[in-house]
Structure 1
Amino acid sequence: MKPLRLPLLAIALVLGACNSMSITNQWRDPAWTGPPASNVVVVGISRSDTMRHIFEDTFSQQLQAAGVQAAPSYTQIPAGNGGAVQLRDLVRASGAQAVLVTRVQRVEQRVNVTPSGPMYGGFYGWYGGAWASTPNVTQYDVITLETSVWDPKSEKLIWTVTTQGIGSNDVPKATADLAQTLIPKLKTDGILR
């Protein structure tokens, strides 16, 4: 099996999206004292402009539904590494107190083989049953995302998590699932108001 190269993946595989998310690791800067942010700029790292727009719009809408002012970054910042100055300007102009960034960390292809149960009736019954019952083989992607929150004033990382989920093709639903997993955690951890 060839290893997947992250830069070659579109966010369709990236966010490509997970229908059920779970937090696998998390970290919060113990020195950061807040206050919790009520205004956020959302950044999705993707080579696909379409997937970036879908992610940023959907996550921003989920934040707004949770009472947090949010703006997608794509409206003023082009994709790629040349947008750092524009991102700084967008954060200042918007009054954002935090920048939330999500990127794909890893995509793993997994195979699940479920053998059939044992056959009874001696060797001849087992032999006939072995031919009749083949194992069930399924292949799926496990997507690992990293979501980080940065304090724009100090330019320091204040909170980060990795999440895992099973891949699907419904990016808006996957983004909503990610937001529904992370927003309550961000509020409980005192990162968002």
Structure 2
Amino acid sequence: MPDTSMLRRSIATLACALLAACAAAPSPTNVTTWRDPGFSGPPFRKVFVVGLSAQSLVDQRGFENAMVATLQSAGVVAVPGWQFVPTDRVPDEATMRAAVARSGADSALLVRMSDVQTESTLAYSAGTVAQAGPNLYVGWYAPGVVSENYQAANIFTTLFDVATARPVWTYNPVTYSPLSLSQGVPAFANDVVGRLQADGLIATR
């Protein structure tokens, strides 16, 4: 029989990690991916999807529904976070802990969009990406010479293992313009699900 106190501690730690990830806003300019080399499976069987927009908590419902629909069409059991987490306020640790527990998911997929910001059309000088902790990265790409500016947002996607409250996979695609992102949610969802399947992280029914 599983140790319920240990499970509660893991969910509490996961809630803290999710909240910390929501607050973090690094800005990579190239596609970066990472998979925990120590994770050997089995694939996750139920995904708790949290899609956070920097613009509005209410906007997350449509994004989560699209991501869940894509996962389900691939034969993966998934639930949107909005069914368990209120969208009229920023959730605290206790709310996130209770939501993950109620969902019965064994993994949590956090998709966060950074604040819309001004970017340069010129290439950025490449840096390195190194894992610094359970949900953060350091060594983000340093900016190069500024030329013509445009509005852009970055997307940070992390899959957490509920049992250990640690990330097992991250995906940070290239910067999106807010308009192209709003129009390209289905393509982005398909991209994420395809990558999760290719890495053997999600199970199909």
User: If the length of structure 1 is used for normalisation, what is the TM-score?
Assistant: 0.65
Matches within 5 A, 1:163-174: 163-169=173-179, 173-174=183-184
Report the identity percentage: 27
Cα pair 2:84 2:103 within 8 Å, conserved: no
In the alignment, structure 1 residue 33 sits paired with structure 2 residue 77: no
Rate the CA distance shift 1:152–1:83 in 2: closer, same or farther, 3 A: same
Cα pair 1:25 1:163 within 8 Å, conserved: yes
Which stretch shifts more, 164-173 or 72-81?
Answer: 164-173
> Equivalent residue for 2:93?
84
| Aligned residue identity for 2:66 | T
| Aligned residue identity for 1:59 | M
* Distance (whole Å) between structure 2 residues aligned to residue 49 and residue 81 of structure 1: 8
Matches within 5 A, 1:1-193: 24-47=31-54, 48-79=56-87, 81-105=90-114, 107-111=117-121, 140-169=150-179, 173-193=183-203
Cα pair 2:44 2:201 within 8 Å, conserved: yes
Which stretch shifts more, 46-55 or 103-112?
Answer: 103-112
Which stretch shifts more, 92-101 or 82-91?
Answer: 82-91
Paired residues in the alignment total 148
User: If the length of structure 2 is used for normalisation, what is the TM-score?
Assistant: 0.62
Give 1:154 deviation, angstroms.
0.9
Which stretch shifts more, 24-33 or 172-181?
Answer: 172-181
Rate the CA distance shift 1:152–1:46 in 2: closer, same or farther, 3 A: same
Rate the CA distance shift 1:68–1:94 in 2: closer, same or farther, 3 A: same
3-state secondary structure, aligned to 1:36: coil
- Which runs of 5 or more structure 2 residues have no equivalent in the other structure? 1-28, 123-147
Give 1:139 deviation, angstroms.
6.3
- Which runs of 5 or more structure 1 residues have no equivalent in the other structure? 1-21, 113-137
* Distance (whole Å) between structure 1 residues aligned to residue 37 and residue 43 of structure 2: 14
Give 1:55 deviation, angstroms.
1.0
| Aligned residue identity for 1:90 | A
| Aligned residue identity for 2:93 | A
Tell which structure's C-alpha radius of gyration is larger. Answer: 1
Give 1:37 deviation, angstroms.
1.2
Give 1:27 deviation, angstroms.
1.0
* Distance (whole Å) between structure 2 residues aligned to residue 65 and residue 165 of structure 1: 27
Q: 1:11-68: CA deviations, max 9, x gaps?
A: xxxxxxxxxxx97001111112221112111101235133211111111111111111
RCO greater where, 1 or 2, for CA within 8 Å and sep 6 or more? 1
